[in-house]
């Protein structure tokens, strides 16, 4: 995610609860995308808008209806193709220091 780090996790006792769950991240993406879409629409029409509050729930039908035309919602409802590419990060071998003869 660019230069940022984001930790996803599950609550205790399943895991350590050090970050939002994947479902919460999805809701956050839809909520933030919705508010940005509303803001952009208001700006485009020169409508004064002080604040946008978005509440999201886990009821997916209601959630997608609230999300409206935001890009994340369009991506989810148009059947995105998701490709998982496993990546293995290998640690370099430990450096072996040698003493050179003098």
pLDDT per residue over 25-62, tens digit each? 888 888 888 889 889 988 999 988 888 888 877 666 66
- Kindly state the average pLDDT of the residues 74-91: 59
The pLDDT value given to residue 33 = 87
With cut-offs at 50, 70 and 90, classify the pLDDT of residue 85. low
CA 86 and chain centroid, separation = 19
d(CA 70, CA 74) in angstroms, rounded, equals: 6
The pLDDT value given to residue 40 = 92
The pLDDT value given to residue 46 = 94
Least confident of 5-9, 43-47, 82-86: 82-86
pTM attached to this predicted model: 0.56
Burial class (CB in 10 A: 0-12, 13-18, 19+), 43: exposed
The pLDDT value given to residue 13 = 92
The pLDDT value given to residue 16 = 93
């Amino acid at each position: 995610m660019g230069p940022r780090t984001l930790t996803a996790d599950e609550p205790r006792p399943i895991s350590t609860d050090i970050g939002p769950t994947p479902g919460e991240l999805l809701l956050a993406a839809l909520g933030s995308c919705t508010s940005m879409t509303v803001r952009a629409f208001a700006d485009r029409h020169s409508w004064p808008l002080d604040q946008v509050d978005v509440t999201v729930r886990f009821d997916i039908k209601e959630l997608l209806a609230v999300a409206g035309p935001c890009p994340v919602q369009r991506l989810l409802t148009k059947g995105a193709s998701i490709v998982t590419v496993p990546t293995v990060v290998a640690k370099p071998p430990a450096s072996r220091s040698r003493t050179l003869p003098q």
